[in-house]
Structure 1
């Protein structure tokens, strides 16, 4: 496995990203959309693990417009007013529309690195909605889209992913935290209805007993049993759709 730091020219500037490659030629490319705490060792480890399954994994910095920032410790960031305010600025100021604009550059960056063909996407926390919106925006390229503890996947906001379900051609997997204020049961039902009406091949699975952020090792609510279940689901999902 190798990793390289790259810079991606977007419509709004230059996004730093890290690309993880398997030892053998990659079966397919994957974009991993970060959670609110940004690129860091915990996400690198997750990308490395995916690369170990044969995928070239791109982890772009979605907050590049505000760089430099952080780093943040997920265990304490929301307990301290200064870091809580900084995260609010970063997440609130980086809209879905901005990431939707960036996605073409992310896909082009993979192609420029020799990673063509069908692409998979996976997002955590704020990255979950971005993964689904990416699938809706690039149905010709993205064939698999997964979200884990993604927030606001079917909110009242005009950029909520469920509103674009009709444009999604990818298979969709949504792993839901058992208790998650950012994705309550009524949103889950709304997303399920939108995907079903749009005839999207999808699974929405409830991980009972885990909290928002359970998949990521440096989160305070990290749950090893639940995280390993997430890995089994994700690798099987990508195995079926990306090979």
Structure 2
């Protein structure tokens, strides 16, 4: 069951969707789903419902709210059209890691308003993968699990790269890597794993051989049903064991 809400942040108002279990069961456990580059849309709400039906209140916030009205974008064509590609890239740069981390305090409060008093998990796709892990570093007392699927630049040279925050994380971390993904090449994967091993973080990095960047999201051009079902199995197991 999906309901649209508005969340007051330090910089304005973010639209969001709250998704509860379809059977109407109450839950005190929550999940924040950090969007991919194309913004909140039906595909992400469907994914949120899959998670909610396992017993969680799921929040899907709009990370682009500072950029004004837009889309949502068509995940199959947006990067092949110059206008939408340019706008998406500009909006991604505006929705920085630091600002999303700041906003995540308000996201957690929104879940608390929905009755979430227990543990919180995060999951992100594409650009959201890094943000899900970064949120775990900023709110270690509330976020107990964080997952990234085909997330990019998780261990880059950038100052805000998530691997630099490993020593602040108490959550269990799961990273599902596309078989071939230029945004998270093998050298970054190795750097990420080493940083989290040294920091003593409970983590796993799994390679989805044959999957392309975006495979888990049903409206993406490279969506793979079997691969997506595998991702749901891993994700829900992570949350069941930690939340």
TM-score, reference length from structure 2:
0.98
SS at match of 2:80: coil
Matched, 1:14 2:13: yes
Residues paired across the two proteins, number: 241
1:71 positional shift? 2.2
- Structure 1 stretches of 4+ moved >4 Å: none
Q: Helix, strand or coil: the match of 1:102? A: helix
Is the counterpart of residue 239 in structure 1 residue 240 in structure 2?
Answer: yes
Q: Residues 52-97 of structure 1: CA distance to partner in whole angstroms, max 9, x if unpaired? A: 1010000000000112012211111111101110111110121111
Question: Is the aligned partner of 1:89 residue 2:90?
Answer: yes
Residue 234 of structure 1, CA deviation: 0.6
| C-alpha distance after superposition, 1:174-223 (max 9, x if no partner) | 00000001000000000000000000000100000010000000000001
1:143, 1:193 → 2: CA distance? 21
1:92 is paired with a residue whose SS is helix
Residue 224 (structure 1) aligned with residue 207 (structure 2): no
Deviations 1:158-185 (A, max 9, x none): 0000000000000000000000010000
Q: Determine helix, strand or coil for the equivalent of 1:78.
A: helix
Residue matched to 1:125: 126
Find the aligned partners of 1:49 and 1:27 in 2 and give their Cα distance.
Answer: 17
Q: What displacement does 1:26 show?
A: 1.4
Partner of 2:176: 175
Once the 2 structures are TM-superposed, how far is the Cα of residue 103 of structure 1 from its aligned partner? 0.7
Q: Which residue of 2 aligns with 1:30?
A: 31
What pairs up with 1:107-186 in 2 under 5 angstroms?
107-186=108-187
Tell me which moved more, 62-71 or 145-154.
Answer: 62-71
Q: Which runs of 5+ in 1 are unaligned?
A: none
Q: Does the CA contact (< 8 Å) of 2:76 and 2:219 recur in 1? A: yes
Superposed CA RMSD: 0.7
Residue 202, structure 1, aligned to residue 203, structure 2: yes
DSSP-derived class of the 1:109 partner: helix
Higher mean alpha-carbon deviation, 147-156 vs 70-79, is at 70-79
Cα 1:27–1:114 change in 2 (3 A) is closer
Deviations 1:116-166 (A, max 9, x none): 121000000000000000000000000000000000000000000000000
Alpha-carbon separation, structure 2, partners of 1:69 and 1:5: 17
2:169 aligned with 1:193: no
Task: For 1:179 and 1:26, locate their aligned partners in 2 and report how far apart those are by CA, in whole Å.
Answer: 38
